[in-house]
A and B are shown apart, each in its own frame.
Chain A
């Protein structure tokens, strides 16, 4: 158990809908990262937040947005869902060591299925 929690575990929805995925980082971790992993694909970095502020953006679609709240939990919002958005969405947290890299602890993921 990494100490990172994600809810829900599974989500099934229809095209065009909007969903919110939630992540609670490990106690004391200020950084939250979001990743997407499609079937048989590698992890794709979406976005990174540090202490409530956006720090880096990866291959995140305009239909997707995220935020980190004062209590450090984070939410990933996916809207106008398409079939291709079906994937595992992982959240990871860390205590960052500046820009020299940090050890990320991954949550169990949320499996999103868009029908």
Chain B
């Protein structure tokens, strides 16, 4: 069964600290993996998209990694800011289809 699991469910960190969010998937066949940031009550915004051949991709203070062999991805946030408080959603695209499998997200809270 195609699934995307994220951990932790929630995370609280102090402003300025780094953190890493995890995403494990069992989606097959795999096309690409994306990370979205969703502020409360708003639509998700794309942070990164990685295909099978890409190991890492950065977007400012956000760096995503992908290990297609172990089917794991991580999103690393550097020098966190209060505005990073949001849910981070991992999404995997099923190759050859128009289907996207969403994780339930990690809710991050950054405290001053």
B99-A106 in contact (CB<8A): no
When A42-B89, A101-B49, A103-B49 are in contact, do A58 and B43 touch as well, CB less than 8 Å? Answer: no
By a CB distance below 8 angstroms, the chain B residues around A103 are 34, 46, 49
- Could you tell me the distance between the alpha carbons of A103 and B31 in the complex, rounded to whole angstroms? 13
By a CB distance below 8 angstroms, the chain B residues around A96 are 98
- Of the listed stretches B11-19, B67-75, B77-85, B101-109, name the one at the interface; the rest are far from the partner chain: B101-109
Q: Which applies to chain A's interface (DSSP): helix, strand, loop or mixed? A: loop
Q: How many A-B residue pairs have C-beta atoms within 8 angstroms? Tell me.
A: 58
Q: Which applies to chain B's interface (DSSP): helix, strand, loop or mixed? A: loop
Within 8 A of A (CB), among B25-54: 31-32, 34, 41-46, 49
- Could you tell me the distance between the alpha carbons of A44 and B4 in the complex, rounded to whole angstroms? 12
B95-A99 in contact (CB<8A): yes
By a CB distance below 8 angstroms, the chain A residues around B102 are 42-45
A106-B49 in contact (CB<8A): no
- Could you tell me the distance between the alpha carbons of A96 and B97 in the complex, rounded to whole angstroms? 12
Interface residues of A, CB < 8 Å — how many? 27
Interface residues of B, CB < 8 Å — how many? 22
**A25 part of interface (Cβ distance < 8 Å):** no
Determine how close the nearest CB of chain A comes to the CB of B60; give it in whole angstroms: 17
**A20 part of interface (Cβ distance < 8 Å):** no
B43-A92 in contact (CB<8A): yes
Q: Which residue of B lies closest to A109 (CB)?
A: B43
| 1/0 contact string of A82-99 vs chain B (CB within 8 Å) | 000000101010001001
Chain B residues close to A by CB (< 8 Å): 31-32, 34, 41-46, 49, 89, 93, 95-100, 102-105
Q: Lowest 8 CB-CB distances: which A-B pairs, in order? A: A106-B43, A42-B104, A56-B98, A101-B93, A43-B102, A101-B32, A55-B98, A48-B98
